[in-house]
Amino acid sequence: MRMLSFLSLIALLGVAVADELPPEIPGTGVATPKYDPNHGGWDSERLAEEASLQLNVLKDALETGSAGASLAAMVSEGFAGEALRPLTVSVFEDAVVDVRRASGGKSVRFEGKDGWVKAVQTLTDPLQAGQLHAKFKTIGVDVENDGAQLRFEIRLDGQSKDGKRLQVNAQWATRWQREGEQLEMTRFEITDYEEILTKRPHPQPLFADATGASLGQDPAFQQQLAYGIDHWLARLDTRTGIKVGGWNGLAIGDANGDGIEDLYVCQNGGLPNRLFLGRADGTAGDVAAAAGVDWLETSRGALWIDLDNDGDQDLIVAVSEGLLVHENDGGGRFQVRSAEVLPFAVPYSLAAADYDQDGDLDIFAACYDRRGHVDRNISLARPVPYHDANNGGRNALLRNEGGFRFSHQTKRVGLDEHNTRYSYAAAWADYDRDGDLDLYVANDFGRNNLYRQERQGDRIRFVDVAEEMGVLDIAAGMSAAWGDYDNDGLLDLYVSNMFSSAGNRIVTQGQFLANEDKATRALFLRHARGNSLFRNTGSGFDDVSIDAAVTQGRWAWGSAFADLNNDGWQDLVVANGFITQADTGDL
């Protein structure tokens, strides 16, 4: 293997010398070959791959607005299908956008190769050529004798000819037939169509990237945050604690008490955390070193809270060893008052609440992997079993005892039940409106926990009611947030998970876990579904994820309810993507 990759590098070398780029030493930094779906015995994956190549022709046609001969060649002579842009009806509008969906009325049929070109033009004609981006995901494959049925999810954005901004979200059901070497499309149906159009010309997107405006002049941003993790992975000794995953969060709070929000940014091992003090004009500058919070260990979550009720914001930072608890001197300088070692596991997200109603804030640390359970150079957990892993790290509830001292209450109050999951995040809320705080914990590789607080006098007891309340959400849980999305006064729950189009394709195939029962296979499919929205009914929760169309968060991490358009209805935002590197051959 060493020899093989060496030979392939020789070719590289020739180019490198010619271009005066630094040449590489052959045989070093040896890589391994990729997975090839064509060699795994998965017919469905091979078909999906072939079809996606065909769809690139359509993508080109959409993005360039020109229908070449290759577009017509995609389909069979006997092709029949619908318009790519069906008849729509407005379902929502605010001052800026109009949301339209397929009206469900009888659609015009397009037939033959010419018909297909015209069907495509229904979408491209009103749009500015060259301004459009289209992305397809293959979400379902059914192999048939001489071809396949394929389902696609489409996201498209661009501008209309009169300058309005547009996004199209659609699902297509297609049928393909093998014709000699080629796969030809014979049927095309729209199973879902939504388009959002601005009411007026809108040259800029609804959110502007103002990173440069706010932080661009700051040296800490220029020297550190302007580089992605991959830059540092090629330069820093792994013993600095640097990790590939980029699990470094942020916290908003007023560090110096001037009434203007500041931002604490957690960083990877070997790179200092940053504290950006907001200025009146919206710019911000880093003062982490002077404030005493420029920690170099891998830091994941952080919280601004007033731990001693003295009116300033103290700071907790989850570093690998445990929690660093800082006291604010009132002017934005910090001193470590306590370092709470968490020997059980590595802390990720932090969530504070006064669960015991004694007037000070307590801390819950969601912990992912067991300490020593993860190879530092590999940084991936080993969940067993994958769909219901129970070999993760213990979460910890730390009660504030005053004077910046804390005590471990996890087991004492019942939170040790189902507590060896891979927990990424937790969120407190009084979901049942009984006056005390309950806790939802999002776990990777399996079920989540809803701990309902049950008080008997002074005795505090949490009971995991996730199953009876219908919020187990068996999936790769990454984050949790509470918010009343339907304005009925009850807090609903949004949980981010992984959406995997490959997962949706593969798990539905007969050969996947062929020896396992239907229920187990269903769990694996659920793992690939994506995010979940649970509507609080007052007596439990309804899983409304599919109807609300909020599953498609992709490989989701952070999520939040936020009313983006000030209409009083809380929208949802989700941060996505696992590992993007220079090599585009995504796994």
* 564 in contact with other proteins (CB under 8 A): yes
* 435 in contact with other proteins (CB under 8 A): yes
Which of 46, 300, 399, 447 is close enough to bind other proteins by CB under 8 A? 300
* 465 in contact with other proteins (CB under 8 A): no
- What CA–CA distance (Å, rounded) separates 566 from 31? 50
CB of 259 to other proteins, least distance (A): 5
* 249 in contact with other proteins (CB under 8 A): yes
**Cβ(141)–Cβ(150) below 8 Å:** yes
Which of 20, 146, 162, 181 is close enough to bind other proteins by CB under 8 A? 20
* 390 in contact with other proteins (CB under 8 A): yes
Q: Which token pair is 140?
A: 């379902």
> Please, which residue, 134 or 183, has the CB nearer to other proteins?
134
- What CA–CA distance (Å, rounded) separates 119 from 85? 8
* 207 in contact with other proteins (CB under 8 A): yes
Site for other proteins in 155-184 (CB under 8 A): 155-157, 165-167, 169
* Binding segment (CB under 8 A) for other proteins, from list 74-82, 111-119, 467-475, 571-579: 571-579
* 330 in contact with other proteins (CB under 8 A): no
Number of amino acids touching other proteins (CB under 8 A): 230
390, with CB counted inside 10 A (0-12, 13-18, 19+), is: middle
**Cβ(500)–Cβ(528) below 8 Å:** yes
- What CA–CA distance (Å, rounded) separates 101 from 195? 6
Helix (H) or strand (E) holding 299: strand 299-305
Which of 43, 50, 486, 543 is close enough to bind other proteins by CB under 8 A? 486
- What CA–CA distance (Å, rounded) separates 307 from 325? 9
Q: Which token pair is 210?
A: 């103002």
Question: Which amino acid appears at position 438 of this protein?
Answer: D
- What CA–CA distance (Å, rounded) separates 388 from 109? 47
* 92 in contact with other proteins (CB under 8 A): yes
- What CA–CA distance (Å, rounded) separates 55 from 338? 58
* Binding segment (CB under 8 A) for other proteins, from list 51-59, 110-118, 177-185, 244-252: 244-252
202, with CB counted inside 10 A (0-12, 13-18, 19+), is: middle
CB of 183 to other proteins, least distance (A): 25
Give the per-residue contact string, 492-531, with other proteins (x = CB under 8 A; - = no).
----x-x-x-----x-----xx--x---x---x-------
* 332 in contact with other proteins (CB under 8 A): no
> Please, which residue, 24 or 114, has the CB nearer to other proteins?
24
Which of 182, 191, 537, 581 is close enough to bind other proteins by CB under 8 A? 581
Question: Which amino acid appears at position 428 of this protein?
Answer: W
> Please, which residue, 330 or 343, has the CB nearer to other proteins?
343
* 271 in contact with other proteins (CB under 8 A): yes
- What CA–CA distance (Å, rounded) separates 505 from 42? 11
Site for other proteins in 209-238 (CB under 8 A): 209-217, 220-238
Question: Which residue, chain included where needed, has tokens 């049942």?
Answer: 432
> Please, which residue, 297 or 327, has the CB nearer to other proteins?
297
> Please, which residue, 70 or 191, has the CB nearer to other proteins?
191
Which of 128, 186, 508, 576 is close enough to bind other proteins by CB under 8 A? 576
Which of 88, 174, 349, 504 is close enough to bind other proteins by CB under 8 A? 349
* Binding segment (CB under 8 A) for other proteins, from list 60-68, 379-387, 451-459, 465-473: 379-387
**Cβ(528)–Cβ(507) below 8 Å:** yes
**Cβ(460)–Cβ(438) below 8 Å:** no
For residue 544, report the phi and psi dihedrals to the nearest 5 degrees.
Answer: -105, 15
Which of 129, 250, 463, 525 is close enough to bind other proteins by CB under 8 A? 250
Question: Which amino acid appears at position 514 of this protein?
Answer: A
* Binding segment (CB under 8 A) for other proteins, from list 50-58, 107-115, 175-183, 276-284: 276-284
> Please, which residue, 84 or 523, has the CB nearer to other proteins?
523
Which of 145, 377, 456, 539 is close enough to bind other proteins by CB under 8 A? 377
Question: Which residue, chain included where needed, has tokens 């979550």?
Answer: 301
Give the per-residue contact string, 308-327, with other proteins (x = CB under 8 A; - = no).
-xxx-------x-xx-x---
Distance, first Cα to last Cα, the chain: 21
- What CA–CA distance (Å, rounded) separates 370 from 281? 44
* Inter-helix orientation angle 112-124/43-64, to 10°: 60
